[in-house]
Each structure stands twice: as C-alpha cells, then as structure tokens.
Amino acid sequence: MRELIVEADGGSRGNPGPAGYGAVVIDAATGRILARTAEYLGVTTNNVAEYRGLLAGLRAARALDASAAVHVRMDSKLVVEQMTGRWKIRHPDLKPLAAEAAALFPPGRVTYEWIPRERNRHADRLANEAMDAGQRGEQWVLPPGEGDGEPAGADAQDTAASPASPASPASPASPDAADERAVTAADERAVTAADERAAGAVAAASAAPAPASSSVPAPASASSATPAAGWAPADLGPPTAFVLLRHGETPLTPQKRFSGSGGSDPSLSEVGREQAERVAAALARRGTIQAVVTSPLARTRETAKIVADRLGLEVAVEDGLRETDFGAWEGLTFGEVRERHPDDLAAWLASPDAAPTGGGESFTATAARVAAARDRLLAAYPGRTVLLVTHVTPIKTLVRLALGAPPESLFRMELSAASLSVVAYYADGNASLRLLNDTSHLRLP
C-alpha cells in the first residue's frame, strides 16, 4: 500500500485573530513533495486553524490516492492527541472539524505523530504566507518556481535561512509556548477513561462507511479531470460543484412544523410539486447538471424525480443527505415545543451537542453524517456538477462547513422551499460558496 505523509499547521495572529493554515503531502517512499496547499481563513483561533490545516492536508492526500495509508505529522499536541482519541474534544467549534477529518479515510488508515515546530517548517511557512496574503487582501497562490516534486528537505533549509515575515515578527503559525503549555495541561487533567471512550466513539461514528442503502456510484477515475482556470493551479482540475436544492413544500412547510427524518415523512403538496416543476425548468435552461442525488425521504425523492425527468437523468440516493431526526418534536411548531419541552429546547438552542427530546439527533451528529456524505459524493463525482436534493439542515451544514463558520450560524441562514444554493469544492481541499437561497425561478413571469 502506498504511504503518504501529511505535514500540516495553522495559526492566528491574536488567537482569535487573522488566521491561516498550510499543508504539504509527501511521498513516503521518495521524500518528494506531491502537493502544497494554504489558505487565509479570516479571523479565527489557533486551534480551528490547525484543524483546518489538517483537513486540507488529508483532502489533498485523498485527491492524490484515496487508497493510500496516511501518516500525519503536526506540531499541535492538541490536534494529535484529540485525533488519536486520547484526549476528549471539548470545544464545540472543533468537534465537527475532527469528525470531518476522521471521515476522510477508513479507520486505521491514518496515523498521527507529534513533531517539534522546527520539523514542521514547511507547513508553518505556508500558513504564514497565507496569513500575509490575506492581510494584503489577496488569495494565497503557490509562488513561481515552487512546483511539486522537489525533495521535502529542501524547504526546511530554505525556511531556516529566511527572515521572519515583517507582518508578524514572530510569525506564529501555532500557539506560543505559554499557550500550548496551558492547553496541554488543561486537557491532560481532563483525560479519563470515559473521555477516551467518548472521543473514540465520535471518531468511529464519523468514519463509518456509506450505508448499504446508498446508491451513489463508486468513485470515478481521477484521470478524467480537465484543466481549470482561475486562482487555483492548473493541475487541480475543475471544481466539483454541488447545486443544493431544498425540496418543495409539504403540507407541514407553511405551518413551520418540525419535519425531520423521524416523523411522518410527508410528500409534496400541490404547491410543492409546482415549485419542483419550476426549478426543473430553470435547471434545464442552464443545462449544467450532470448527476442528481437525493435524500431517501419522500419529499426529496419526489422533487428529485420531477427534476431528473426533465433533465433526462437517473436519480441516486444518499442516506447521509436525510434531514435531522427531531425526535419528539416531529410535527410540532416551535411554539408548541417551547410550551411542552422548554428546558430541552433551551439546551438545543445553546449547544450543537444537545439532541431534541426523545432521542433525536444533535446538530453535531448531523454535521458528522453530512460531512461523511459530502466526502463520498466528492469522491464519486470529481469535477462534475451534481444536484443534491436535500433538506434545510444538511444544506445549511454544507454551507457552514464550506465557510468554516461556527455551529450557531445554522440559526442565521434562511432557506426557502425549492431554493437553490451552490458550493464548489477544489482538489486541494478549498471550497467556495457561490450561491445561497436563490428563489428567482419561483417568481411568476
């Protein structure tokens, strides 16, 4: 089995402050650099930036060889200990990122090693380059003359001889020594046997394989990619675009009732079927959809069939795109839930880890499931434009993860029935939101 090495780093100048990450993928057999990636993240924390660097490195490794074994080396003790399950992940902003990382490769195929910062200079330099570029109002691009394929050791020598960035005298791409000592001590005190079991359960659940009911095709060959234009390097190929369609109205939609995957599974109303016809006509005019994938619930299947029939495409089913299970709240309005389950509702609004009354699904669990489905679909449809017919929470989650936004952003997005949103994903792990909640196709002529 081929072995790839991922070296990743991230940091912020302020914690929270202007942040960025860098990652490299190295061929373990030859020591040659196969891929580099970096990105300015805006304002966030050191730990979020470190996890984002890990994700970018793992995605780049997966794009190179999804069957490889991967050895991750980072100078973040926190990330290494949490990803191995030895430390519990307590911060809500880090849990979905860790779940995403765990889902990128099958269990047991990724190993982690902590290394001193001086051995992680390549990723550190890329992170600082990304932060410098962001503070200039630019996107990071691979500097001219730094093509992949050079020996990995060459960068360490260059970095050691180069001066620190003038934008940040210390150029910290990971927490300073005092901050790292404080984080390490706090987490070590928190480690118990129960914490280890909980951390292992989160990683195992997020890395679970696709359900047997999934009809998404197997990953396509990467050799079908064609060159792309734009900021991304030409060898990345075209992005994979997910056109996210919320299903049309059901009888519960205008009443604003909780309608997840654990309720009555309503079909479309007459209004909902008309909405589906309108979006089908709009997508047919654009002529860009190459595949249709739907949630298994009735309202999405019906919407997807109407659109796919108009486009002349088959419909694949992905179980990971189903709506959150709202437990005992299914079929109730927000006001009714507040009257009957006030404490549970307050906890749910305050934390993504809280589940609805009666064994429903938390937003943290939904995020792990949706992230795993996203990665399966990215592997199955590289470089293609795919219509995903799904629900409010999965769409908001995909948007949130693409933007690196916190879990509470789920409550700050509006998604209308039969609306369209678009997220593009690049081979180096970057993503961009291109459209959100477009309903122009529903307006009367």
Active site residues: 247, 323
CB 52 within 8 A of CB 39: yes
Q: What are phi and psi of 171, to 5 degrees?
A: 45, 55
Amino acid, res. 419: S
The 3-state DSSP class for residue 411 equals helix
Give the residue from 436, 392, 418, 41 showing the smallest Cα distance to 242.
436
* Integer CA distances (angstroms), 346 to 98, 119, 246, 247, 343, in order: 26, 46, 27, 28, 5
Q: What are phi and psi of 166, to 5 degrees?
A: -65, -20
Give the residue from 42, 37, 56, 57 showing the smallest Cα distance to 12.
42
Does the N-terminal peptide bond of residue 16 adopt cis geometry, omega within 30 degrees of 0? yes
Q: How many CA atoms lie within 13 A of 154 on its CB side?
A: 10
Q: How far apart are CA 213 and CA 115, in angstroms?
A: 41
Distance from chain centroid for Cα 359 = 25
Q: How far apart are CA 373 and CA 421, in angstroms?
A: 17
- Provide the 10 A C-beta neighbour count for residue 181: 12
Q: How far apart are CA 382 and CA 178, in angstroms?
A: 43
Instruction: Please enumerate in sequence order all residues whose Cβ is within 8 A of that of 159, keeping only pairs 6 or more positions apart, or say none.
Output: 121, 122, 124, 125
